[in-house]
Amino acid sequence: MSEQDHDYRPLRSFGRLKSRPIKPRQAALMAERLPDLRIPAGPVTPRNLMPGAREVWLEIGFGGGEHMAAQAAAASDVLILGAEPFLNGVASAVRHIDEQSLANVRLHDGDARDLIARLPDGAIDRVFVLFPDPWPKARHHKRRLIQPETAVALARVMRPGARLRFASDWADYVNDALATLRAEPAFRWIATRADDWRTPPADHVTTRYEEKRLGDCAPVFLEFDRRAD
């Protein structure tokens, strides 16, 4: 990679890649299953990963995988692509997939932006960005996942009518994400009343992270439609 290429690499939108040691049993399961679950390198054609899939959903930053696995179990005819750079989270997700015998989940153990760049136009029917790293310090806001360039990239891979759900329990990040996504002409915020963002959607699955209430406000849920071009 040239110095020029390095200068234009996006800032990391996530923190540590690993915390506590992965338990031997979980590490063995990940070594066994992840090669088959991993999304192949190069351009991605989601429909080839699961022929006959009714829709293709993308979860960015799936954490421990609880939400992703629950959504996959509830919609077995939908292919769910999950992206997560945190190795402990990937190990946890592989365990959920194995224990529930889920055949409709594929994983990218890395930066979601790398996966998005490899997806074709209009390939995604639904996107989840749930409780991403808030980078609360002002000097770190540039590292937040939701940036104007990310909004453009998501708009490209989402089909017209596709839905994007963003959730956070950091008020400043909610306001920042709302402003960023509303500024992107491809997205329409669908809320019509306060309960639309204050109340978890009917199909939302509460995760362990969400239950910890580490933010500075109650969880806020923002739903957007991908407009037709």
**CA nearest neighbour of 138 among 170, 93, 162, 100:** 170
179: in domain: yes
- Indicate whether 141 pLDDT > 80: yes
6: in domain: no
Residue 172 is a catalytic residue = no
Alpha-helix runs per DSSP H in 1-158: 3-7, 24-37, 46-49, 66-74, 87-99, 112-118, 148-157
Q: Which of 109, 111, 125, 133 is catalytic?
A: 133
17: in domain: no
User: Over the stretch 180-214, which tens digit does the pLDDT of each residue have?
Assistant: 999 999 999 999 999 999 999 999 999 888 888 88
- What is the percentage of the chain residues whose pLDDT exceeds 70? 91
35: in domain: yes
User: Over the stretch 90-132, which tens digit does the pLDDT of each residue have?
Assistant: 999 999 999 999 999 999 999 999 999 999 999 999 999 999 9
16: in domain: no
Sign of CA dihedral 82, 85, 86, 87: positive
Give the CATH number, domain containing residue 104.
3.40.50.150
Q: How many domains does the chain fold into?
A: 1
14: in domain: no
pLDDT category, 17, cuts 50, 70, 90? Answer: very low
- Indicate whether 32 pLDDT > 90: yes
- Indicate whether 27 pLDDT > 70: yes
160: in domain: yes
The phi, psi pair for 220, rounded to 5°, reads -120, 135
37: in domain: yes
Residue 86, domain extent: 23-42+50-226
